[in-house]
Amino acid sequence: MTILQAKDVVKSFGQTPALRGASMTVRQGEILAVMGPSGSGKSTLLHCLAGILVPDEGEIWFDGQRLDTTTDEHRSELRRDRFGFVFQTGQLVPELTAEENAALPLLLGGARRAPAIAEARAWFGRLGLDGLEQRRSGELSGGQAQRLALARGLVTGPQVLFADEPTGSLDSVSGEIVMNLLTAAVREQGTTVVLVTHDARVAAYADREIIVRDGTVSTLTGVQP
């Protein structure tokens, strides 16, 4: 079943076109890798799918709803309640403790503090972060910070996790730990993942890949040697 779809999406920044008619679908529960050279438009595509950017032309559909024509307020709600995000660098709030950072989407959604923190803490053991609950982000290693960002991305139980180069700032071993934890967690939860990466070893964790090139999508999967 399709959960997300882009239809002929066009998006430009000033005079510079980033997407020139990109079409693709994401199936419920799959991990989809979005690959392509730098500047190909893969991050722009992710931002359009996630309702962060609104396309100039074309349509974005999520779970039977048109995302690009809905209100900004509704898009914000969807981003907060139904989507999770992990970016290349954790984008953690330095003033907050690790558990407060992980609980942030729940707190911003209006949850009471105690249950939100309890929900966040449940992720610490699963992501190998036990004992780090009170640390500030500056006291975490790069790998720990990305695992914390992953906890924050998954804490609301999102339908779709958007991950943009989630291991891009990590060494290969730390990156592998993050990807193993990410895939185990989303498989268990049935979360759909849109994973933007230029790294083939990261893409190899996905169920399939699409290639974005010059703002359009080419698919060539299932070809066997």
Partner 1 sequence: MSVPLTLLGLLEREPSHGYDLKRDYDAYFGRGKPLRYSQVYATLGRLTRDGKATPGPVEQGAGPERRRYIITDAGVADVEEWLSEPVQPEPDLQSELFAKVVLALILDRPAGRYLDIQRAAHLQRMRELTELKSHGDPLDVLLADHALYRLEADLRWIDHTAARLEPLAKAVRR
Instruction: Name the minimum Å distance from CB 208 to partner 1.
Output: 8
Tell me whether residue 91 or residue 219 sits nearer to partner 1 (CB atom): 219
Interacting span for partner 1 (CB under 8 A) from 45-53, 65-73, 94-102, 204-212: 204-212
84 burial class (0-12, 13-18, 19+ CB within 10 angstroms)?
buried
Residues from 142 through 201 that contact partner 1 (CB under 8 A): 180, 200-201
**Nearest CA to 152 among 169, 180, 129?**
129
Compute the distance between CA of residue 220 and CA of residue 26 in angstroms, rounded to an integer.
15
- Is there a contact between 208 and 30 (Cβ–Cβ < 8 Å)? yes
DSSP state of 139: G
195-209 as b/e: b if 16+ CB within 10 A: bbbeeeebbebbeeb
Instruction: Name the minimum Å distance from CB 112 to partner 1.
Output: 38
* Number of residues engaging partner 1 in binding (CB under 8 A): 18
Per-residue mark of binding to partner 1, 36-65 (x: CB under 8 A): -x----------------------------
Interacting span for partner 1 (CB under 8 A) from 12-20, 88-96, 152-160, 213-221: 213-221
The letter for the amino acid at 126 is R
User: Out of 170, 205, 212, 215, which residue is the one contacting partner 1 (CB under 8 A)?
Assistant: 205
- Is there a contact between 215 and 20 (Cβ–Cβ < 8 Å)? yes
If one asks whether residue 211 binds partner 1 (CB under 8 A), the answer comes out as yes
124-151 as b/e: b if 16+ CB within 10 A: bebbebeebbebebeebebbbbbbbbbb
If one asks whether residue 203 binds partner 1 (CB under 8 A), the answer comes out as yes
Instruction: Name the minimum Å distance from CB 95 to partner 1.
Output: 38
If one asks whether residue 115 binds partner 1 (CB under 8 A), the answer comes out as no
Binding positions for partner 1, rule: CB under 8 A: 37, 180, 200-201, 203-207, 209, 211, 218, 220-225
